[in-house]
Amino acid sequence: MTTLSDNGLAHVLKHDRFGNIVDPTVSYARGTILRSNADEILRQRKTYRIARERRARLGPDSIYNLTGLIRGFRFEEGDHAKLYSYIHFGAIDEGLILQKALARMGGNEAEHDGFLCNRVSAAALATMMGLLKPGDLVYSIVPADRCHPSVKNSVLAVGGRFEEVIGADAFIKAMDDGGQVPKMVVITTISPSKHHMPEADTLRALSRARELGACIVLDDAHMSARLAVYGETPSLAMGADIAFWSLDKHCTGPRSGFLAGRTDLVREIRAKAFMFGLEAQLGSIVAGENAIDAFDPEPIRSAAGFTDGVMSELQDLVQGKAYRAGPGIAFTGEDLLSLALQEAGLSQPRIVPIEATAVAGMALLKEVGAVTISVSGMPGSACVYRLMSYPDGERLGKQAILDGTRYAISTVARVLNDPDAAAQWILG
């Protein structure tokens, strides 16, 4: 079936493995329980209700963070004076967050500028508003699956055209075959589903985009894990014109995204960010600077080593469907639903994969106290069952992860043909 997209371009509707129509705004099928972003927010609220109840019964150490995210506000002695008002902040703060972020991202103040946005999604939106005009073509290059929805949605919001390919080879072939030269190329180094694009592939895509004269944006939200686990080069040092780095992914910072790049481009982007309120506020800036100071790759590497020990046994449990997600393990919502169908002896489910991941995540939370992105994530989070070993995987332990995952799959198997029962798990 062919339909028109928001920008008037024809596209073919995609279906998942079970015949469900995929919603192009989030890249997975909506169901009868999780019908919209509004329902996913209700799912998130249910998660925190369960966490509060568990903490009240068993204490704070009974909750385990397997999201890879901290999103904390870590303040130091002496920070209070900056936080008294924005005037005090401006009179005291010396803007060191820029210097420190550029050093981490491989840039320098002679060529680069930057600022903190209130989310990486805000950085993406500000970038598209600042650098694109209606009709401009943007190519997204991803290692697998798809980019973060904010990239695509931001392009469409400003009237741009969006194309996406998997891997550097696909992009290079498209250009060699006479494809239209894009105004911008966005390369996602680690996708929302935590697939990793090796640096060599990133550099090949970047080089081809540079030859074409395109503006190069690295969505390097997971730069902390990329540097710690894979030992790769920071964003700006690879030659990006603009790069995003999340200070809450494998960092202690608040939910925020540092945007850095060429000074002339950042000037235009910052103007749009300030016009629409996308810039981070002073509390996030102070906590973000502290997160940069505190960044330590060793706990991330330790979590990756722990994951090595979990991976082989988990693969046996999920019949080889798991993949490494940096310092974590994941398998897709479709694979989760297939495993549950096999256990239940059924051939067709009455729930969709995103609902299966939500049931599994809720079951894992209730059984062992582990919070995962499947249930705590924002609408549009990747449709995967994902176990990030940072920060609390080692504290939870291998056996609890294995037993909890086994219970999660069995729970999905019990409700996959009963939407009412599944809804009770997800929203009830």
pLDDT along the chain (428 residues), means of 10: 44 90 94 98 98 98 97 95 96 96 98 98 99 99 95 97 98 97 98 96 98 99 98 98 98 97 99 98 98 97 97 97 97 99 98 99 98 94 96 98 99 99 98
Helix (H) or strand (E) holding 116: strand 112-117
Q: What is the pLDDT of residue 12?
A: 75
Distance CA 19, CA 205 (A): 33
Q: What is the pLDDT of residue 5?
A: 46
Q: Shortest CA distance to 237 belongs to which of 109, 143, 96, 104?
A: 104
Q: Shortest CA distance to 383 belongs to which of 360, 408, 362, 354?
A: 354
Q: Count CB-CB contacts under 10 A for residue 25.
A: 16
Q: What is the pLDDT of residue 4?
A: 41
In the chain, where the domains are located:
2-68+297-426, 94-294
Distance CA 337, CA 352 (A): 8
Distance CA 77, CA 213 (A): 47
Angle at 141 between CA 149 and CA 196, to 5 degrees: 85
**What SS3 class is residue 386?**
strand
Q: Which residues of 107-116 are buried (b: 16+ CB within 10 A; e: fewer)?
A: beeeebbbbb
State phi, psi for 273 to the nearest 5 degrees: -60, -45
Edge to edge, what strands does the sheet with 112-117 contain? 112-117, 257-262, 242-246, 215-219, 184-188, 137-142, 161-166
State phi, psi for 185 to the nearest 5 degrees: -120, 125
Q: What is the pLDDT of residue 3?
A: 42
Fold entry, domain 94-294: Aspartate Aminotransferase; domain 2 (3.40.640)
Helix axes 398-415, 333-344, angle to 10 degrees: 70
- Write down the H helix ranges in 106-167: 120-131, 149-157
Token pair in block for residue 236: 């700006």
Distance CA 350, CA 340 (A): 12
Q: Shortest CA distance to 97 belongs to which of 369, 281, 350, 346?
A: 281
Same topology for domains 2-68+297-426 and 94-294, yes or no? no
Q: What is the pLDDT of residue 69?
A: 95
Distance CA 224, CA 417 (A): 41
Angle at 138 between CA 142 and CA 16, to 5 degrees: 45
- Domain made up of 2-68+297-426: CATH architecture: Alpha-Beta Complex (3.90)
Helix (H) or strand (E) holding 339: helix 333-344
Identify whether 391 is preceded by a cis peptide bond (ω within 30 of 0): yes
Q: What is the pLDDT of residue 382?
A: 93
